Amino acid sequence: MKRSKCNMESMVSAYMDGALSEVEIRRFKVHLKECPECRESLKALTALDKVLRQSSDVSLSPDFDAVFYEKLNRESRKKSWFLGPAPYFSGLKVWAAASACALMIVTGWMLTRPDPVRMTAEEIVIAKHFDILQDFEIIDNLELLENWEALESGEAEL
């Protein structure tokens, strides 16, 4: 497609289609007298519109209406089966019903889920100081270390 050199050529279509303001129309008419390129473009595009409008409309298939109403009936049947109670649950009511269902599901889950592991107070303390208690065995056997020399010489027994 050849690019136009005239920057007003882009107004040709809008001029043809009556899409310019009165001021623009006056300006463009003056311009047309001076610009052969825009005159040529206007002539060609007007002829193009005539050619395009000569292409004929197609007739509809004889069964067009029947096929459409069959589709419409099929859809209405499907809709009435799927959304039977829909008239009773429209707009905000749908949201309210959905929220109630969601609430019931969450409550049911909370009530039926298995109990979490319950710990005694002592176990909780152990868990909190687990690092210290890991060394408990050494602390518990400190007495052995104190008597180590006696044990080694055989003066004491375990």
Residues that bind other proteins in the complex, under the rule CB under 8 A: 1, 10, 12-14, 17, 19, 44-45, 47-61, 64-65, 67-68, 71-72, 75
Closer residue to other proteins in complex, CB, 45/151: 45
Q: How far is the CB of 11 from other proteins (least distance, A)?
A: 8
Angle at 131 between CA 125 and CA 133, to 5 degrees: 65
Among residues 56 and 120, whose Cβ is nearest to other proteins? 56
Rounded CA Rg of the chain: 46
- SS3 of residue 105 by DSSP: helix
For the chain, the helix, strand and coil percentages under 3-state DSSP, each to the nearest 5 = 70, 0, 30
| Shortest distance (Å) from residue 55 CB to other proteins | 4
**Phi and psi based region of residue 18 (left: phi greater than 0; alpha: psi -120 to 50; beta: remaining):** left
Region for 57 from its dihedrals, namely left if φ exceeds 0, alpha if ψ lies in -120 to 50, beta otherwise:
beta
Residue closer to other proteins, measured from CB, 4 or 147: 4
Q: Which is nearer to other proteins, 1 or 121 (CB)?
A: 1
Residue whose CB is less far from other proteins, 68 or 148: 68
Q: How far is the CB of 16 from other proteins (least distance, A)?
A: 8
Backbone angles phi, psi at 155, to 5 degrees: -75, -25
Instruction: Tell me how far, at minimum, the Cβ of 96 lies from other proteins, in Å.
Output: 20
Separation between Cα atoms, residue 52 and residue 47, nearest integer Å: 9
Q: How far is the CB of 95 from other proteins (least distance, A)?
A: 17
Handedness of CA 38, 40, 42, 48 (dihedral sign): negative
